[in-house]
Amino acid sequence: MAAQYDNTDAFQGASFTMADLSATTFRSCDLRRIKIVDSWLMDVNVSGEIRNFRVNDVDVTAYVEAELDRRHPERARLREMRTADDFRATWETIERLWSETLARAERLPEAARHERVDDEWSLVETLRHLVFATDAWAGRAILDAPDPFHRLGLTHSGYPAEDAAALGIDLDARPAYAEVAQARVGRVALVRGILDGLTDAGLERACTRAPAPGYPAEPRTVGGCLRVVMEEECEHRRYTLRDLATLEAR
């Protein structure tokens, strides 16, 4: 069985020479300032927050971002949002795109909607995470709801299980797709309700409550919190489309 290292800084500043790291997985890791020299990089898949990413001395960051924007124009639209009307229009686009995506998913068997592709979240797990993201950034941070978290939400990787339990979240739940889809319908409506009455001035209102325990204490505005929700929606739909293609091909 392969060794597993969780929540460790034991390798910070380490040097590996002539080491076999094939088939190694790095998930939610801090890989800043990594240097890879004279190594074999074939069949490598990298995803995450990418900046100043150089391959053979060529910075490929701009190319990657431009290609992602070409495939998913909503990403560029999200970055360009300035007014409340911009936010409303972008959310309408996100709702429409997810509706099309879920229509595809619902043509698959129930088991496929629970299947992980390459050990990434299944569709059901992805929707559970989006429920959590909406609860945290919209329900708690923006609306200051006293008990915003749905039992079926799924926290991000690395969030302490005991903190999730304290929020009433059941990480071990194994709900059916229909149950999770219903929870998501309510969260989509929650965001739409916030946007319906939003003004340009309202975007700048300060949110005094952190999205969840453990999040850093820093200034947040309604507009900033909504951006996080929409970024989560856009990026996780991108991952879902990738995995749906694999499931449909089977």
pLDDT digit string, tens, across residues 89-99: 999 999 999 99
Could you tell me the CA-to-CA distances from 99 to 93, 105, 185, 188 in Å, in that order? 10, 10, 11, 11
Class of residue 120 by CB neighbours under 10 A (exposed 0-12, middle 13-18, buried 19+): middle
pLDDT digit string, tens, across residues 83-121: 999 999 999 999 999 999 999 999 999 999 999 999 999
Q: What is the CATH number of the domain that holds 111?
A: 1.20.120.450
- Residue 1, pLDDT above cutoff 70: no
Measured at the CA of 165, the angle between CA 236 and CA 228, to 5 degrees, comes to 30
Handedness of CA 228, 234, 236, 238 (dihedral sign): negative
Domain ranges, residue 205: 82-249
Say what the pLDDT of residue 38 is: 84
Say what the pLDDT of residue 15 is: 87
Amino acid found at 100: E
Report the distance separating Cα 111 and Cα 115, nearest Å. Answer: 6
Q: Which of 126, 137, 117, 135 is nearest to 225 (CA)?
A: 137
Within-domain flag for 41: no
Within-domain flag for 105: yes
Report the distance separating Cα 114 and Cα 123, nearest Å. Answer: 6
The structural domain count of the chain equals 1
pLDDT digit string, tens, across residues 157-171: 889 999 999 999 999
Say what the pLDDT of residue 43 is: 86
Class of residue 215 by CB neighbours under 10 A (exposed 0-12, middle 13-18, buried 19+): middle
Report the distance separating Cα 161 and Cα 9, nearest Å. Answer: 20
- Residue 2, pLDDT above cutoff 80: no
Q: Which residue has the tokens 């100043």?
A: 52
Band of pLDDT at residue 4, cut at 50, 70 and 90 = confident
How much is the mean pLDDT over the chain?
94
Within-domain flag for 68: no
